Amino acid sequence: MTKRGVLIVVSGPSGVGKDSVLRMYMPGKTCVKLSISSTTRIPRQGEVDGEHYNFVSREVFEGMIARHEMLEYAEYAGNYYGTPKKWVEDTLASGKHVILEVELIGALKIRALTPEAVFVFLMPPSLKALEDRLIGRGTETIASIDKRMKAARNEILHAGAYDYIVVNHTLQESCEMLDVIINAAALRTSHQKDIIGEVINHA
Amino acid sequence: MTKRGVLIVVSGPSGVGKDSVLRMYMPGKTCVKLSISSTTRIPRQGEVDGEHYNFVSREVFEGMIARHEMLEYAEYAGNYYGTPKKWVEDTLASGKHVILEVELIGALKIRALTPEAVFVFLMPPSLKALEDRLIGRGTETIASIDKRMKAARNEILHAGAYDYIVVNHTLQESCEMLDVIINAAALRTSHQKDIIGEVINHA
């Protein structure tokens, strides 16, 4: 019997480096899959359908909501973003672990639905370090940075709701910590319920 | 401020290989300490005081019980075995992780006292493999093996009370899994409570 994979939810404030950590982490990980969100937003330059997002129409997205086919979804700035349930479920059933990168609200929704999932909060070393990163991107206005820093403070204050905190000092370290968390999650008793019976009965 | 160490409790049926796994695991682990049990039993040939056990008199042991200085203790075959609380507490406070090797009853007692500890059950690949190991030792009578196998069945049926199950296919694999579990435990949010305040306040 294939052992079900582990669902790992990774959150953290905008600019903390979630994408960078996962981009470094994923290559070569044959037993871990990164979920691709669906969105109704127009692709930005360089964004590839099915790689960065599944780009869908508003009609398609709202149909999926109506049929309860979204594990979580939210609307930001007039566009929907969400995680299709079926792909996540099929991938876990095939024995592979699934990483979802979602924001605080989405993470809390998933926590309520799937208590066996593992919740990881990627934390900046300090608010100053986060602000420096946002400024360093060079793509944000001062007003936008202020707004993101306020949101970051709020998200960090909710980090206690996650199972694990990974302080993103370096990408390499964060990848190693993420790996440890995923490997440990697969060893949890709650994830290996069948073993007790197997050992007892296959004397 | 020194971050407190993690308490790891390792149990498993007699003969599963707890000693062998820990003997392979410990060397070179500067941030992990293995707790030495105290006992009133007479040292066997080759056993070194302060290495295999702290050998103490019945009077000394009962004094420690009376002063609540034992984290857990039990009496087997007329001898006391127990874990002195102070050494465990001091070592955790110094930032080092502590491994306790204790039986089911001791583990359940510690679980009630220290819910933040991590409980690992070392599982044989099968009851047959366990029996083969006990027979292979060549030190047990058939009656003694039968008794141990009955006890093993009972302990395995309680494995669900532990946080993690490590199936001891090979010592090497079990050491790697134990390492993953300990490293993940140190990343738990419950173990890094101060970080949220530190990040928020050290802007």
Q: What is the DSSP string of A40-74?
A: -SPPPTT--BTTTBEE--HHHHHHHHHTT-EEEEE
pLDDT of residue B2: 73
Describe chain A by its helix, strand, coil percentages, rounded to 5. Answer: 45, 20, 30
Rounded Cα distance, B43 and B53, in Å: 8
Contact B73, B102 (CB under 8 A): no
CB distance from B152 to chain A under 8 Å? no
pLDDT of residue B139: 80
DSSP-based three-state secondary structure for A77: coil
Rounded Cα distance, B19 and B12, in Å: 10
| pLDDT confidence bin for A202, thresholds 50/70/90 | confident
| pLDDT confidence bin for B138, thresholds 50/70/90 | confident
Rounded Cα distance, A105 and A11, in Å: 10
Rounded Cα distance, B193 and A157, in Å: 11
pLDDT of residue B203: 52
Which residue reads 């002195």 in tokens?
B84
Q: What is the pLDDT of residues B72-115, one digit of tens each?
A: 999 988 999 999 999 999 999 999 999 999 989 899 999 998 98
Nearest CB to B196; choose among A156, A189, A193: A156
Chain A residues with CB under 8 Å of B150 CB are none
Mutation for testing the B interface, residue in A9, A121, A134, A165 having most B CBs under 10 Å: A165
CB crowding A77-96: b at 16 or more within 10 Å, else e: eeebbbbbbebbeebbeeeb
- Which secondary structure element, helix H or strand E, spans residue B49, and what is its range? none
Comparison of pLDDT for A37 and B2, the residue scoring more: A37
The set of residues, in sequence order, having a beta carbon less than 8 Å from that of A39 and lying 6+ positions away, is A53, A54, A55, A56, A61, A79, A80, A81, A82
Contact B199 A125 (CB under 8 A): yes
| pLDDT confidence bin for B61, thresholds 50/70/90 | very high
Rounded Cα distance, B87 and A103, in Å: 43
DSSP state of B188: B
- Cα nearest neighbour of A126 on chain B: B199
pLDDT of residue B97: 97
Rounded Cα distance, B33 and B10, in Å: 13
Residue A200 has pLDDT above 60, yes or no: yes
CB distance from B203 to chain A under 8 Å? yes
Distance of CA A149 to the CA centre of its chain: 20
Chain B residues with CB under 8 Å of A127 CB are 199-200, 202-203
| pLDDT confidence bin for B200, thresholds 50/70/90 | confident
Mutation for testing the A interface, residue in B187, B200, B202 having most A CBs under 10 Å: B187
pLDDT of residue B173: 97
pLDDT of residue A203: 52
CB atoms within 10 A of CB B172: 11
Average pLDDT over residues A165-185: 97
Residue B146 has pLDDT above 80, yes or no: yes
CA distance A99 to chain B (A): 17
Q: What is the pLDDT of residues A123-173, one digit of tens each?
A: 999 999 999 998 988 888 889 899 999 999 999 999 999 999 999 999 999
Q: What average pLDDT does the structure give for chain A?
A: 93
DSSP B109-174: HHHHH-TTSEEEEEE-S-HHHHHHHHHHH----HHHHHHHHHHHHHHHHTGGGSSEEEE-S-HHHH
pLDDT of residue B102: 92
Q: Please state, for a pLDDT cut of 70, what percent of chain B lies above it.
A: 99
- Which amino acid belongs to residue A125? P
Rounded Cα distance, A25 and B38, in Å: 45
pLDDT of residue A137: 82
B contact residues 47-86, partner A, Cβ 8 Å cutoff: none
Contact A180 B184 (CB under 8 A): yes
